[in-house]
Amino acid sequence: MRAMRSRTLARGPVLTALGLGAAQLGNLARKTSDTDARGAVDAAWDSGVRYFDTAPHYGLGLSERRLGAALARRPRAEYTVSTKVGRLLVPSPETAHRQDAGGFAVPAAFRRDWDFSRDGILRSLEGSLTRLGLDHVDIVYLHDPDEHWQQASTTGVDTLVGLRDQGVVKAVGVGMNQAAMLAEFVRRSDVDLVMVAGRHTLLDQSAQDELLPLARERGVGVVAAAVYNSGLLAADRPPGDATYDYQPASRELIARADALADVCERHGVTLPEAAIAYPLRHPAVVSVVLGARDAGQSRTNAARLAAGVPNALWTELADLGLLPEVPGAPSTPGEPS
């Protein structure tokens, strides 16, 4: 396939318009085979994806091990890897006979200790490099510091900036499921990018209130994750048992998704295609990260990104009050350049 369009951050890392989120490689919610996990990475690569995101949290290190193994034979200079710090994995042999309680189908052989201290971050990153089989990662995010603002916004950020200034990593940032605290990180610290999950989607535009304008003003890249809001926007028509942010979707949300799907159908676009295209319309957004559990899902993600979405769709959605106008959006939306 043709090379996927990409954006280069101010300090160097290149992010393709589509990134592969590796939570499913860590057995998110259910088991994924080694074969399927490798197939997801290989198919993403064949589709032009060169940005891969993981975290120790995902499967207690399983995601990092599988991603590293799948990328091992790829030229290191040709792809960008991000991982996260803040949940330090500590061996827990006394619970290894149990199932992980953190949402992943893996043995609870480790526990997650919240730690945004300098020592905790360095230990976490060292463990990630070992599991990935790499001598460096390109991007490191502080991971979900919602209840740890004081330490994360001081010691945490300072440690990451120090690693960047030493050349250990190329770029640093914060990844969260909320927009308000991300905006505070952008306002108060020298981060290069943020990953916002579920807050810049067809159903939730709260990131547009402050985070996206501020990020654009400061030259901070935004990676949009969870653009399906955990399932409600993942099918052409939302099923009655659809989930929204990992909870059963309300009837009101399902009705709104159905209304969005009606307009999409009139323009020859599927709801998931619009869900991927919408975040990329904002000039601050540098990539959309989607998960995949096998090769078929990776190929579907790439096909949805490549689908043409006419500007008339966004105009009608705005006219109907289903979506706000996106400031600075191109007249003909597409992948970032």
User: Which positions are annotated as active-site residues?
Assistant: 58
Q: Is 237 exposed, middle or buried (0-12, 13-18, 19+ CB in 10 A)?
A: middle
3-state secondary structure of 13: coil
Tell me if 263 sits within 8 A of 312, measured CB to CB: no
Phi, psi (rounded to 5 degrees) for 207: -65, -20
Residue 222: closest CA among 194, 182, 190, 189: 194
Q: Which two tokens stand for residue 93?
A: 């042999």
Q: Which two tokens stand for residue 51?
A: 């940005």
- The DSSP result for 205-241, as a single string, is -GGGTTHHHHHHHHT-EEEEE-TTGGGTTSSSS--TT
